[in-house]
Amino acid sequence: MIAAQRLHIVPSRFLVEHLPNATFPEDDEWIALVRAPEGLTVVREASPFTEAERWAGFYGEAGHGLDVPGMLAAIVGPLGEAGVSVFVASTYHADLVLVPEHRLDEAAGVLTDAGHRIVGPQAGRGATGAR
């Protein structure tokens, strides 16, 4: 069993875009890129005025090696069981787990119930603190 993780709520909000005919975005305002046969997926910071679906992110406080199994599953498993959609962008050290912004509080509760510790700005509360 994977130990509980300390997860930060990233203060920024994100957009996840699919560019079917692109191999690279036209600008450099992106956070993560994934190129696949069906096109390019781009994760970028959302402006407060964005009308598209906005995503909120959880990011692990302690990095982990690529040889540590189950770290991501310990986060996305409980979210999946609760019916919360996720989009993941992995780094060498940790995973950025995005959930729809309107489900951030619910996702934080699910992760807390699963034994994780959530820190950072809480959606709908406007405060910073541990949960």
Is a pLDDT exceeding 50 seen at residue 131?
no
Per-residue pLDDT tens digits for 86-119: 999 988 778 899 999 999 999 999 999 999 999 8
Residue 58 placed within a domain: yes
Backbone φ and ψ for 11, nearest 5 degrees, come out as -65, -30
Q: What residues make up the domain containing 46?
A: 6-125
Q: What is the pLDDT of residue 129?
A: 41
90 occurs within a structural domain: yes
**Range 68-86 average pLDDT:** 90
Q: Would you give the DSSP letter of residue 108?
A: H
Q: Residue 16: inside a domain, yes or no? A: yes
Residue 39: half-sphere exposure toward Cβ, Cα within 13 Å: 9
Give the burial class of 52: count Cβ atoms within 10 A of its Cβ; 0-12 exposed, 13-18 middle, 19 or more buried. Answer: exposed
Tell whether the model's pLDDT for residue 59 goes beyond 70.
Answer: yes
Identify the pLDDT of residue 121: 65
pLDDT at 43 over 80: yes
Closest by CA position to 83, among listed 60, 99, 65: 99
pLDDT at 125 over 60: no
Number of domains making up the chain:
1
Tell me: pLDDT of 12 over 60. Answer: yes
Per-residue pLDDT averaged across 26-42, rounded?
87
Query: What is the CATH number for 19?
Result: 3.30.2130.10
